């Protein structure tokens, strides 16, 4: 969440920035009213606490002198009743302020272009040249169905819409892609391979900003009184490893990677990308997460994005890097780069990776800190996350870009070791 001091001391200016960059309307009048009441209650609560302490000492002194303490005790009891009421109301006000703060998006970095939606995104560069085909291009659904590799009907029978069953060599290719990405990030890029829970508690979801704002996009489980959530990305589990921790300077930056299932309800996305595996309720991703010193997070952001780009380059997949505008960034980000891979069947680039610097926004929610060696004091870290990359979309891109006229798929060189050296699947 945003720095509370920013809301308390620069409320009007912050609200204007949110309106101009995020299209977010903060009810400043309601916030100001709550803040004024909080201040008054806090002062009164402290006054009552001090008064109770003073009068309690007076009871002891009166007893020592053999005086009647009943009047003082009645006074202390009255103070206690008012104090309890004041403390209860103060907690209610703080909870209301926290609820408002939890729903406010992060403020974009000054280098982020202004824009209302994806039309305001700015292309940074491209890599690779889209292939020219001398036969009719098939999309990934046609290629998969032709061999019985990709079965949406079976997925729907088992679970409903937006689930898919993969079989045979296509399932193996999917596994090989995830294995290749993990090997690359752990072996060459210096990320620590991590296996994390797929089901997390509400504190973990709140820490990275999924709760309370995006609860409708989440799958949840409940056993007895315990409610838990299926992760929409392993960013949640990886980033929360430092929740309520003070990490030492020598350990930074901490870099983690994990391959996991991801689950998204995709509320509000009906009618978009419903064909095939583009947008599924269950999918797999190799995630990258960094915990960094504040003054190094922008360099770490560039490094992380480059690590994701290397995945696509080693696979020989044309892509472009986009700098997202203020209106298209995620809730927690201060700056985001999207990588979009070329899909021949759509004759366009589609997102396959999103790499974001969240600044101290998530760290403040999680109370994730590092010990500054200069001051010796704990300070908030910066958190970053990125797809390195989405496995299902990488599968689609390989299928379509490496397809042959007979329906077979040539394997990129880096994936052939996972197939015993075979050059194609058919």
Whether 352 has a binding-site annotation, put simply, is: yes
Of the listed 279, 306, 416, 424, which one is catalytic? 279
Of the listed 52, 162, 255, 264, which one is catalytic? 264
Of the listed 37, 193, 215, 351, which one is catalytic? 351
Angle at 158 (CA atoms; ends 153, 164), nearest 5 degrees: 50
Whether 300 has a binding-site annotation, put simply, is: no
Contact by Cβ (8 Å): 247, 370: yes
| DSSP labels, 283-350 | EEEEEEEEEE-GGGHHHHHHHHHHHHHHHHHHHT--EEEEE--TTTS-TT-SEEEEEEEEETTTTEEE
Whether 56 has a binding-site annotation, put simply, is: no
For residue 351, give the 3-state DSSP assignment.
strand
Whether 353 has a binding-site annotation, put simply, is: yes
Whether 351 has a binding-site annotation, put simply, is: yes
Is residue 279 part of the annotated active site? The answer reads: yes
Nearest of 361, 381, 357, 239 to residue 301 by alpha carbon: 357
Is residue 52 part of the annotated active site? The answer reads: no
Whether 250 has a binding-site annotation, put simply, is: no
Whether 118 has a binding-site annotation, put simply, is: no
Nearest of 253, 258, 242 to residue 303 by alpha carbon: 253
Nearest of 47, 40, 38, 37 to residue 79 by alpha carbon: 47
| 323 to 120, 129, 180, 334: CA distances (angstroms) | 9, 20, 26, 12
Whether 264 has a binding-site annotation, put simply, is: yes
The separation between CA 97 and the C-alpha centre of its own chain, rounded to angstroms, equals 23
First vs last C-alpha separation in the chain: 50
Contact by Cβ (8 Å): 320, 127: yes
Whether 269 has a binding-site annotation, put simply, is: no
Of the listed 309, 340, 393, 400, which one is catalytic? 393
- Classify residue 35 by its DSSP letter: H
Of the listed 52, 354, 365, 369, which one is catalytic? 354
Contact by Cβ (8 Å): 293, 247: no
The token pair that represents 198 in the structure block: 């797929």
Is residue 393 part of the annotated active site? The answer reads: yes
Whether 385 has a binding-site annotation, put simply, is: yes
The token pair that represents 217 in the structure block: 């996009």
Is residue 55 part of the annotated active site? The answer reads: no
| 146 to 139, 143, 151, 406: CA distances (angstroms) | 11, 5, 10, 10
List binding-site positions for L-serine.
233-235, 264, 287, 385, 387
List binding-site positions.
233-235, 264-266, 287, 351-354, 385, 387
List binding-site positions for ATP.
264-266, 351-354
Give catalytic residues, as residue numbers: 264, 279, 351, 354, 393
């Amino acid at each position: 969440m945003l720095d509370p001091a920013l809301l308390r001391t620069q409320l009007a200016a912050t609200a204007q920035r949110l309106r101009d960059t995020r299209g977010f309307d903060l009810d400043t009048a309601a916030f100001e009213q709550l803040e004024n009441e909080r201040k008054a209650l806090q002062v009164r609560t402290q006054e009552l606490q001090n008064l109770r302490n003073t009068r309690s000492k007076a009871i002891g002194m009166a007893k020592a002198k053999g005086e009647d303490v009943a009047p003082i005790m009645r006074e202390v009891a009255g103070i206690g009743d008012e104090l309890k009421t004041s403390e209860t109301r103060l907690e209610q006000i703080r909870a209301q302020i926290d609820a408002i703060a939890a729903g406010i998006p992060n403020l974009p970095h000054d280098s982020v272009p202004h824009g209302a939606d994806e039309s305001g995104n700015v292309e940074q560069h491209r890599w690779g040249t889209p292939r020219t085909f001398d036969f009719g291009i098939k999309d990934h659904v046609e290629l998969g169905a032709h061999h019985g590799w990709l079965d949406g009907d079976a997925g729907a029978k088992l679970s409903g819409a937006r689930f898919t069953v993969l079989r045979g060599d296509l399932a193996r290719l999917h596994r090989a892609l995830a294995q290749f990405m993990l090997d690359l990030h752990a072996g060459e890029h210096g990320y620590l391979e991590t296996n994390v829970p797929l089901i997390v508690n509400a504190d973990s979801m709140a820490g990275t900003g999924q709760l309370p704002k995006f609860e409708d996009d989440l799958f949840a489980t409940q056993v007895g009184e315990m409610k838990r959530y299926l992760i929409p990305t392993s960013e949640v589990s990886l980033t929360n490893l430092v929740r309520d921790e003070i990490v030492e300077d020598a350990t930074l930056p901490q870099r983690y990677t994990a391959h996991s299932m991801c689950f998204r309800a995709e509320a509000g996305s009906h009618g978009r990308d419903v064909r095939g595996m583009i947008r599924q309720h269950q999918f797999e991703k190799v995630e990258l997460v960094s915990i960094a010193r504040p003054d190094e997070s922008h360099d770490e952001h560039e490094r992380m994005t480059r690590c994701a780009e290397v995945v696509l380059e080693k696979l020989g997949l044309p892509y472009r890097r986009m700098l997202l505008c203020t209106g298209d960034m995620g809730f927690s980000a201060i700056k985001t780069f999207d990588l979009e891979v070329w899909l021949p069947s759509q004759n366009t680039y589609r997102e396959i990776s999103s790499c974001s610097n969240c600044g101290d926004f998530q760290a403040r929610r999680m109370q994730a800190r590092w010990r500054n060696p200069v001051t010796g004091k704990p300070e908030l870290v910066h958190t970053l996350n990125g797809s390195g990359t989405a496995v299902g979309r990488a599968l689609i891109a390989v299928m379509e870009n490496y397809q042959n006229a007979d329906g077979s798929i040539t394997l990129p060189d880096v994936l052939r070791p996972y197939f015993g050296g075979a050059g194609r699947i058919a």
